[in-house]
Structure 1
Amino acid sequence: MHYGRIFKTLHLLQFLHDEGYRRMIGTQLNVQEARPRLARKITFGNRGQLRQRYREGMEDQLGSLGLALNAVIWWNSLYLDAAVQRLRAQGFPVTDEMCARLSPIAYEHINFLGRYAFTRADVGSGLRPFHDVPAPAG
């Protein structure tokens, strides 16, 4: 019973006195909270609420949400990897520590409004090209 309190006390002391530890905990919390934020963004119409009155309908709704979440994360993972490979090929010193901080749970670049047509992609053509950002003037 008291054994668990020892670890809780050690954790609290380290949290209070170690700024790096606090930053690490904050980063982990941000990553954990990012997935529900993305889910709420995807289900903006129902504000993340299950609206079906029967169990199978709720399961279908949750399955669709899971599929959409996984598709966004998969897409982002493909392009994050391609971006890292491109930067390395251009000679930018991308370290493993930098890559460890990347997260595929981002959605600022996704338009959640409008109509979408899903057609079979030409797999042989590869990924879409990146947008080149112009260099700042000056």
Structure 2
Amino acid sequence: MRRAWLWFGSEGVSRRKQPQAQSETARCLTLLTNCVLLWNTVYRQEVLRQRQAGGCPVNEAHSEYLSPSRCEHINRLGKHSFTNPAQLDPSHRRPLRHSGD
């Protein structure tokens, strides 16, 4: 994932002159990047768990080729909706989408 993709304002260029402000911007971008990586890791693990539970063999050797840095599913522009907590599973995650959804 390119961090510049997440930082779409100002075309990915820090326009702040003060070092403190530049540092704050960089820390915020790092936090956002880490959130995306964590989200992807948690949900990728859930997909693998569900596939195994469904009888689909998962070769652990292939996990080194999975990267949590994908971001095509992230809506960085436009409207966002937040799931009603009543619709979350017991582990407080939203349900996985299935192909064709």
TM interval, shorter chain, is 0.7 to 0.9
Residue 113 in structure 1 maps to residue 77 in structure 2: yes
TM-score by length of 2: 0.82
User: Number of aligned pairs?
Assistant: 96
Deviations 1:81-110 (A, max 9, x none): 111111111111111122111110010000
Identical-residue share of aligned pairs (%): 30
Matches of 1:101 and 1:46, distance apart in 2 = 33
Instruction: Quote the residue 1:49 is aligned against.
Output: 13
Aligned residue identity for 1:108: E
Instruction: Quote the residue 2:94 is aligned against.
Output: 128
Of 44, 53, 58, the residue aligned with 1:89 is: 53
Deviations 1:26-59 (A, max 9, x none): xxxxxxxx4xx2x111111222211111010000
Which consecutive segments of 4 or more residues in structure 1 shift more than 3 A? 115-118, 121-125
Which protein shows a greater Rg? Answer: 1
More helix by share: 1
TM-score by length of 1: 0.62
Aligned residue identity for 1:56: Q
The verdict on how the C-alpha distance between 1:94 and 1:44 changes in structure 2, with shifts beyond 3 A counting, is same
Structure 2 segments unaligned to the other structure (5+ residues) = none
RMSD, aligned α-carbons: 2.2
Matches of 1:117 and 1:60, distance apart in 2 = 27
Instruction: Quote the residue 1:5 is aligned against.
Output: none
The verdict on how the C-alpha distance between 1:77 and 1:58 changes in structure 2, with shifts beyond 3 A counting, is same
The verdict on how the C-alpha distance between 1:90 and 1:117 changes in structure 2, with shifts beyond 3 A counting, is closer
1:117 to partner: Cα distance: 8.0
